[in-house]
């Protein structure tokens, strides 16, 4: 879980990711932890442990290499972005995501990060969503995934996926509510000046 135990929240980083897919949920998790008095351990892991340049040109500093991470994970978060196409052609990265997911209590895909999860076989037989402009492509490429184009986020078992970009914050707030309760989620939304709840089925 994100806060109920000391297991870290791990974000997977790669070149060309969408910065808000990382920083949006990151801020939600961190703010909620500060409010609760138990800040979570947040880690950005990249293939080689080096910085990654986002699609906007901003660089993010990594906390380490994916292969160097040891131990269990509370929540694994895979972002999307323009770099997803290249990521899907990197079998080592896809395998690393599958390996990390095997140690995670729950797995989250933000925006087109769902493609990476699907490529790793983590969405087979699951309901999932992604950016509205990519839902048809996700369904065509991965017929074993039950793609739902309308929801802001979809939770199916221990896998949760969100629609595009800022919808990752809705996803993160839902996980905060699950871990810390509705009052903590509401206070987090107030601190970040965002909607406390957009319905999961909101188009």
Beta strands in 117-169 (DSSP E): 127-128, 146-147, 153-156, 159-162
Q: Residues 24, 28, 31, 32: what is their CA dihedral angle, to the nearest 10 degrees?
A: -170
Q: Respond yes or no: is residue 54 known to be catalytic.
A: no
Q: Residues 97, 101, 107, 111: what is their CA dihedral angle, to the nearest 10 degrees?
A: 10
Residues whose CB falls within 8 Å of the CB of residue 6, separated by 6 or more in sequence, listed in order: 41
Kindly name the residue from 9, 60, 107, 111 that is annotated as catalytic.
Answer: 111
Q: Which residues are catalytic?
A: 111
């Amino acid at each position: 879980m994100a806060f109920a135990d000391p297991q870290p929240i791990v974000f997977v980083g790669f070149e060309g990711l969408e910065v808000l897919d990382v920083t949006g949920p990151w801020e939600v998790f961190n703010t909620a932890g500060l409010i609760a008095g138990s800040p979570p351990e947040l880690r950005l892991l990249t293939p080689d442990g080096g910085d990654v340049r986002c699609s906007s040109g901003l660089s993010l500093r990594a906390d380490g290499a994916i292969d160097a991470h040891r131990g269990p994970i509370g929540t694994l978060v895979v972002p999307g972005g323009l770099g997803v196409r290249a990521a899907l052609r990197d079998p080592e990265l896809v395998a690393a995501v599958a390996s990390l997911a095997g140690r995670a209590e729950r797995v989250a895909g933000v925006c087109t990060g769902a493609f990476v999860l699907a490529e790793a076989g983590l969405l087979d037989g699951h309901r999932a969503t992604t950016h509205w402009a990519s839902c048809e492509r996700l369904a065509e490429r991965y017929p074993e995934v039950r793609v739902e184009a309308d929801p802001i986020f979809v939770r199916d078992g221990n896998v949760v996926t969100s629609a595009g970009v800022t919808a990752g914050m809705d996803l993160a707030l839902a996980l905060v509510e699950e871990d810390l309760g509705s009052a903590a989620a509401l206070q987090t939304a107030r601190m970040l000046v965002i909607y406390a709840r957009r319905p999961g089925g909101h188009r």
